[in-house]
């Protein structure tokens, strides 16, 4: 039985109770959200050992970190180091995007880690076929089932790309065309064979597999914009309409699902994109890549993504896929992963504050600063290690202050003045 089927029957599962406790919300609210499809708890029935995690309405904004090998860089141990670092710095989930040779080995090692794991099965199916046009429908579905059988908790499936939407996109034209890897694979296959997308055509078969293992489907945005010029165009929105229909079909089947969002969106269109998804997809959890709000910051796209992510989450997005400084340039290394996770966590926390979640930590930090309590400040930091490193490398003469203001530290001056005034008042 899936989490959604249990919730529809009014059954409060251990996973729902754990999510409610972790989030500090009523268990009944979680049950109701799961039953309605507005909250998902990714957790394959073969892998209930991972800590339950809720994504969706009324919950803390979550952060995903992408991990995985490529054809150019195949280093299993390196990917595991990056995965562990991502978890250490606060990633809530991992996604394995491996396209190297040892895809099965990477996935199975990542499944040993204590957070939900997502995959994009079409990558492995295509690598096995050598060319997108040689991919068979049976092989694609066999790969999806193999990932589910291994214990994968959520999967990206580009089921909203149809012949009609692809034809319309080709007639419309785009500056950056199709930038989704999964979307480009399927588009190439569809154009070569003159056939419908098998993930759309046989969506019912996909739902049967997802229900058997309680795999959460992450409905991918094959036509997401790859530049801010292409944002919010007809191709993107037509796919979103289709995804909304697939969300309803999944809910009727008792299958948990979320919807993936656009990649490159100018700042003034971010909120509209979130509101459209929530409206067209009936409140399904929204999983966004970034969005990146400018195209000219390679090397700093963890910042462009955090800006877009904060605004998207404030508008109602539920799940941020991190972007690293290596985006558009290279496979991220360990430091890129750390920076990407922290940037997305800043965005998620900033949005949580706007929703009335987690502000107590900020108040505690302000109090520690007033008290000149450096140890407490470090404990409250999102990246305690980096904060301590700055402090150690540039130590002040006066241990109460920092080397920025020194003896002109506003906090210390005002604190000293108030203490003196209080003493004078007592002595009168």
| Domain carrying residue 253 | 61-354
In a domain, 254, yes or no: yes
**354, 369, 400 — which closes off a domain?**
354
Instruction: Evaluate whether residue 47 is within a structural domain.
Output: no
Q: What is the number of helices (H) and of strands (E) in the chain?
A: 19, 10
Asked if pLDDT for residue 15 goes beyond 70, the answer is yes
| Arithmetic mean of pLDDT over the chain | 95
What string of DSSP letters covers 63-81?
Answer: EEEEE---SS---HHHHHH
User: What pLDDT does residue 308 have?
Assistant: 98
164-211: pLDDT as tens digits:
999 889 888 899 999 999 999 999 999 999 999 999 999 999 999 999
- Using an 8 Å Cβ cutoff, are 220 and 183 in contact? yes
How many Å apart are CA 79 and CA 75, to the nearest integer?
6
- Residue where a domain terminates, one of 334, 354, 374: 354
The pLDDT of residue 135: 95
The C-alpha atoms of residue 312 and residue 268 are separated, in whole angstroms, by 11
What pLDDT shows up at residue 277? 98
Q: What is the pTM of this model?
A: 0.95
Q: Is 7 a member of any domain?
A: no
Same domain for 410 and 318: no
Question: Would 364 be classed as within a structural domain?
Answer: yes
What is the domain-level CATH number for residue 221?
A: 3.20.20.540
Same domain, 161 and 206: yes
Q: Do 196 and 311 share a domain, yes or no?
A: yes
Band of pLDDT at residue 48, cut at 50, 70 and 90: low
- 92 pLDDT band, cuts 50/70/90, is very high
Query: In terms of domains, do 262 and 398 share one?
Result: no
Same domain, 241 and 224: yes
Residue 38, in any domain of the structure: no
Does residue 415 have a pLDDT over 90?
no
The larger pLDDT score, comparing residue 427 to residue 219, is at 219
Note if the bond before 291 is cis, omega within 30 degrees.
yes
Within this chain, do residues 311 and 255 fall inside the same structural domain, yes or no? yes
Same domain, 191 and 263: yes
Residue 330, exposed/middle/buried by CB under 10 A (0-12, 13-18, 19+)?
middle
Q: What is the pLDDT of residue 427?
A: 73
Q: Kindly state whether residue 23 falls inside one of the protein's structural domains.
A: no
Residue-level pLDDT at 414 = 79
Count of domains for the chain: 2
Split at pLDDT 50, 70, 90, the class of 257 is very high
Residue 272, pLDDT > 80, answer yes
Is residue 350 domain-shared with residue 391, that is, in the same domain? no
Q: 347 with 221, same domain?
A: yes
Q: Are residues 219 and 127 in the same domain?
A: yes
Residues 394 and 335 in one domain: no
Q: Answer whether residue 14 is part of any domain.
A: no
Q: Do 114 and 229 fall into the same domain?
A: yes
> Of the ranges 102-111, 228-237, 358-367, 407-416, which one carries the lowest mean pLDDT score?
407-416
> Among 303, 330, 354, which residue terminates a domain?
354
Residues 6+ apart with CB under 8 A from 328: 298, 301
């Amino acid at each position: 039985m899936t989490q959604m089927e249990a919730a529809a029957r009014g059954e409060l599962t251990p996973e729902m109770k754990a999510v409610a406790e972790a989030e500090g919300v009523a268990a009944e609210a979680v049950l109701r959200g799961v039953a309605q499809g507005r909250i998902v708890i990714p957790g394959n029935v073969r892998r209930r050992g991972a800590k339950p995690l809720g994504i969706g309405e009324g919950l803390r904004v979550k952060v995903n970190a992408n991990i995985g090998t490529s054809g150019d860089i195949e280093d299993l141990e390196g990917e595991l180091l990056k995965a562990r670092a991502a978890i250490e710095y606060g990633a809530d989930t991992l996604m394995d995007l491996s396209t190297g040779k040892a895809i099965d080995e990477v996935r199975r090692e990542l499944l040993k880690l204590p957070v939900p794991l997502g995959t994009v099965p079409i990558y492995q199916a295509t690598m096995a076929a050598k060319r997108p046009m040689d991919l068979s429908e049976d092989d694609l579905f066999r790969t999806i089932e193999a990932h589910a059988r291994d214990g994968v908790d959520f999967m990206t499936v580009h089921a909203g790309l149809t012949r009609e939407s692809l034809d319309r996109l080709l007639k419309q034209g785009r500056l950056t065309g199709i930038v989704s890897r999964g979307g480009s694979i399927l588009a190439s296959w569809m154009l070569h064979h003159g056939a419908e997308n098998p993930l759309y055509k046989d969506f019912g078969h996909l739902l049967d597999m997802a229900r058997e293992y309680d795999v959460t489907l992450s409905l991918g945005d094959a036509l997401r914009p790859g530049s801010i010029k292409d944002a919010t165009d007809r191709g993107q929105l037509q796919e979103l309409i289709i995804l909304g229909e697939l969300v309803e079909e999944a809910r009727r089947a008792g299958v948990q699902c979320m919807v993936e969002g656009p990649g490159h969106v100018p700042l003034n269109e971010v909120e509209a994109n979130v509101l459209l998804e929530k409206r067209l997809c009936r409140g399904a959890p929204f999983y966004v890549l970034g969005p990146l709000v400018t195209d000219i910051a390679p090397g700093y796209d963890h910042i462009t993504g955090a800006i877009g992510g904060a605004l998207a989450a404030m508008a109602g997005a539920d799940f941020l896929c991190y972007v690293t400084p290596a985006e558009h340039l290279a496979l991220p290394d360990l430091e890129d992963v750390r920076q990407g996770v922290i940037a997305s966590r800043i965005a998620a926390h900033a949005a949580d504050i706007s929703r009335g979640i987690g502000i107590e930590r900020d108040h505690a930090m302000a109090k520690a600063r007033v008290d000149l309590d450096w140890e407490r400040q470090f404990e409250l930091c999102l990246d305690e290690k980096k904060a301590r490193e700055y402090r150690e490398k540039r130590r002040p003469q006066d241990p109460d202050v920092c080397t920025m203001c020194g003896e002109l530290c506003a906090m210390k001056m005002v604190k000293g003045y108030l203490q003196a005034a209080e003493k004078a008042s007592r002595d009168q």
